[in-house]
Structure 1
Amino acid sequence: MSCIALSNFKSKKPKYELEQDKILQWLALAHTFAEAKTNKITLFSEKFHAFRQEIQEKFLHVGCSSEHINKRGFSLPDYLHNNWHEMEVFCLHESSQGENIQKRSKLFEKIADEAFDFFYPTSSNPPDGMIHVSCTGYVAPSSAQKKASSHKWLNATHITHAYHMGCYASIPAIRIASGYVYSPLSKEKNRIDIIHTEVSSIHTNPLIHATDELVAQSLFSDGFIKYSVSNIPPTHKPYLQVLSLHESLIENSSKYMSWNLTPWGFKISLGKEIPVLISKNIHLFLSELSKSVNKKTSDLLENAIFAIHPGGPKIIAQIQKQLNLQDSQLTASRAILKKRGNMSSATLPHIWQEILDSSDYPDQTLIVSLAFGPGLSICGAVLKKEC
């Protein structure tokens, strides 16, 4: 029997972890030091403390609180102290924006290499292909290419890069992998590994005090995960069977989200209209997704659980309200946001892993997966848990 199956999930926690309240305090202090350096404000003066109080209140007002995120993970020790002269990126005693994009890219390369070392130790069997997914760093040769080369998988493993798509990238990556395992041009390609390396923490800029930047800085964390796509049912269970994939763009929405390179790093832009635009279009999208698996929308709404990329708690809440979902249908989505924060493209695979590992979700559980990103893009999948 042929199918598209997701299995062999393996995640790697970032090296450092910190409570959300402490992260927000660190960010407020970093913003204050950046502002002081740029505008020549005397350190710890009345004006310095007034700005710090103002930015702290702004983070509390627009940022994601510890009610929704307990901890976030980071690959840099910078967030654990405020000795700016000892920072790897946020050397605010020298530059109010921190290091430039060249330095941040070198750090990404090192961190991504470490993730591939973790996922593919010396004894590893070669996959038929690797798809490296990231929107937070790109170097050539990539970590995937270097790993295949060092393991002498020179002809055994084909490498593909799925870069700069944003938080929804796991869905297109599965589509690419599915094409490989069924293409007549890819002889005997039965196992394609998808590897996500997201290092959002290196792209913070403490000199940008705009609301959308503060929202992003209060949400994003680092995430690393690997899983396999195959065209035959795995011998070991549980695994996820892919029943359908669907992608769509929201009309006249391209200006509301961007993710672009700057001299200091990657800069995000988030319009306040995003949750409303998604909620207005989610019914039509779900209708098309339902048709692709020959089901009524009501069947999925009543019988499936929902793995929703938590771009933020408002996204989950808006979709829950629009679709009239029960809290129990969103447990895994909220759990990953609470434990890990928004890990960009690595988030949805972490939710899938949570569902696979939990006995709360029995055999044949249907999973509607939804993720969003620049475009504005809505991407979705219908999966089924096989135990």
Structure 2
Amino acid sequence: MPQRVRPQRETPGETPSPGLLSLATAVPEHVLHQPDVAATMHRFFSEIFSRSETMAGIFASTGIRKRHAARPLDWYLEPRGWSERTAVYMEAGGDLFVEVANRALTLAGCSAGDVDSVVFVSSSGIATPSLDAVVHSRMGFRADIERVPVFGLGCAGGVTGLAIASRLAQARPGSTVLMVTVELSSLAFRLDRPDKAHLISTALFGDGAAACVLRTGERGIALVEGAGEHLWPDTLGIMGWSIDPVGFGVILEPNVPSFAATNLKPAVTGILGRMGLAPEDVGRFVCHPGGTKVVAAIERAFGLDQGSLDHERGVLADFGNMSAPTVLFILERAIAHGLPERAALVTMGPGFTASCLSLAQAA
């Protein structure tokens, strides 16, 4: 992609951009191989799949080979209510939090006692107090740590959470900010809701976690130049959760790929414009994949060659759609392959909302 790279601008007296010091990812131990899930769902919902050729091929068309889940496949085949789902969210979610947070802190060369603020992002379970408090003693956080739990952002949460963490770091130069996102989307698998949205979710969603450490005054892996969001009016029904006595219910409109192809670039262009940037200034878009159709739609929207979003397809194949952490798994691969002078993280989530964050090379 042609670039028109503009240098990062800092006026005298302006607080420098926060540095991304580390990024870590983690997944639960249980692996769901896509053929096994497909065979199980076809057995349970044989009538539905037999009536629809499109639905019959949904598992094969996702581009997913395997996913990770908080529990083995058989666990999801029994009726589960809020209490059981929440218990798993607390236990498995807490374990993932501790694992991925400690990994990110180690990579950043600091400890939990150094953390001044923790931003915790999750939309796949409900816990009060939130998991950052539940694991406080296990982590070894200080008593005066600032906790910022964020709920309801869905797939957009990874980018928006990172943006919130970067603003906290920038507001208090020298402070250490930890951002953690944990999603156990598999807990929304519902055998009592055999509608299209729920069956598609069984083909797409997996569990995972990611964590980042940020600090202003250190360059780290990259610098956070800025971030923003765009919410489209009257789009609440595109994506989200419904809530009933059994648990979360999936709200997922089938037109997300076409919506992205038409609306995403103008929204991202506006967000970048508020930073003094344009899409042409971005060397690599790092995008939440959603599914293979969404990846292709994003490539069309930004005029990218087909196959350009290779890390997106690779993460989708290996882990499925993990909601908020997914884009950070993709960023991890992009970092390993070498970031360009500027990268833009792009996600869409409930609202319906686009979130975008710009990263500049630290060197």
Tell me which interval the TM-score lies in, with the shorter structure as reference length.
Answer: 0.7 to 0.9
Q: How do 1:36-185 and structure 2 match up within 5 A?
A: 51=47, 54=50, 59-61=55-57, 63-65=58-60, 68-77=63-72, 79=73, 81=74, 87=75, 89-91=76-78, 98-119=79-100, 124-126=111-113, 127-150=115-138, 153-183=141-171
Aligned to 2:289: 310
Shift of 1:5: 2.1
Instruction: Give the Cα separation in 1 of the matches to 2:61 and 2:361.
Output: 31
Residue range with higher mean Cα deviation, 203-212 or 171-180: 171-180
- 1:261 aligned to which of 243, 256, 260: 243
Aligned to 1:94: none
CA RMSD of aligned residues (A): 2.5
Q: 1:189 to 1:16 in 2, by over 3 A?
A: same
- Structure 1 portions without partners, runs of 5+: 33-49, 82-86, 92-97
- 2:218 aligned to which of 217, 233, 252: 233
Instruction: Give the Cα separation in 1 of the matches to 2:62 and 2:236.
Output: 31
Instruction: Give the Cα separation in 2 of the matches to 1:248 and 1:296.
Output: 16
Aligned to 1:84: none
Q: Give yes or no for contact 2:49–2:55 (8 Å, CA) kept in 1.
A: no
Shift of 1:379: 0.9
Q: Give yes or no for contact 1:101–1:262 (8 Å, CA) kept in 2.
A: no
Instruction: Give the Cα separation in 1 of the matches to 2:192 and 2:139.
Output: 42
Task: Indicate whether 1:380 and 2:361 are aligned.
Answer: no
Instruction: Give the Cα separation in 2 of the matches to 1:311 and 1:340.
Output: 12
Shift of 1:151: 5.0
Q: 1:334 to 1:150 in 2, by over 3 A?
A: closer
Secondary structure in 1 matching 2:357? strand
Q: 1:256 to 1:328 in 2, by over 3 A?
A: closer
Instruction: Give the Cα separation in 2 of the matches to 1:55 and 1:306.
Output: 39
Shift of 1:147: 2.5
Instruction: Give the Cα separation in 2 of the matches to 1:322 and 1:58.
Output: 25
Q: Give yes or no for contact 1:28–1:59 (8 Å, CA) kept in 2.
A: no
Q: Give yes or no for contact 2:81–2:247 (8 Å, CA) kept in 1.
A: yes
Q: Give yes or no for contact 1:372–1:379 (8 Å, CA) kept in 2.
A: yes
Instruction: Give the Cα separation in 2 of the matches to 1:7 and 1:206.
Output: 42
Task: Indicate whether 1:319 and 2:298 are aligned.
Answer: yes
Q: 1:101 to 1:231 in 2, by over 3 A?
A: same
Task: Indicate whether 1:292 and 2:287 are aligned.
Answer: no
Shift of 1:156: 4.2
**Larger relative contact order, structure 1 or 2 (CA cutoff 8 Å, min sep 6):** 2
- 2:186 aligned to which of 201, 208, 214: 201
Larger Rg: 1
Secondary structure in 1 matching 2:180? strand
Aligned to 1:243: 225
- 2:36 aligned to which of 15, 22, 28: 22
Q: 1:120 to 1:9 in 2, by over 3 A?
A: closer
| CA deviations over 1:357-378 (Å, ceiling 9, x no partner) | 22xx35x432122111111111
Task: Indicate whether 1:222 and 2:207 are aligned.
Answer: yes
Instruction: Give the Cα separation in 2 of the matches to 1:69 and 1:197.
Output: 20
Aligned to 2:325: 346
Shift of 1:174: 2.2
Shift of 1:274: 2.2
Shift of 1:67: 6.3
Q: Give yes or no for contact 2:50–2:56 (8 Å, CA) kept in 1.
A: no
Secondary structure in 2 matching 1:329? coil
Q: Give yes or no for contact 1:320–1:326 (8 Å, CA) kept in 2.
A: yes
Q: Give yes or no for contact 2:159–2:327 (8 Å, CA) kept in 1.
A: no
Instruction: Give the Cα separation in 2 of the matches to 1:232 and 1:27.
Output: 51
Aligned to 2:308: 329
Q: Give yes or no for contact 1:20–1:66 (8 Å, CA) kept in 2.
A: no
Task: Indicate whether 1:271 and 2:271 are aligned.
Answer: no
Q: Percent identity of the aligned residues?
A: 20
**Match for 1:4: what amino acid?**
P
**Match for 1:315: what amino acid?**
V
Instruction: Give the Cα separation in 1 of the matches to 2:259 and 2:304.
Output: 18
Q: Give yes or no for contact 1:242–1:381 (8 Å, CA) kept in 2.
A: yes
Shift of 1:72: 0.7
Q: Give yes or no for contact 1:356–1:385 (8 Å, CA) kept in 2.
A: no
- Structure 2 portions without partners, runs of 5+: 1-14
Secondary structure in 2 matching 1:180? helix
Secondary structure in 1 matching 2:154? coil
Aligned to 2:18: 4
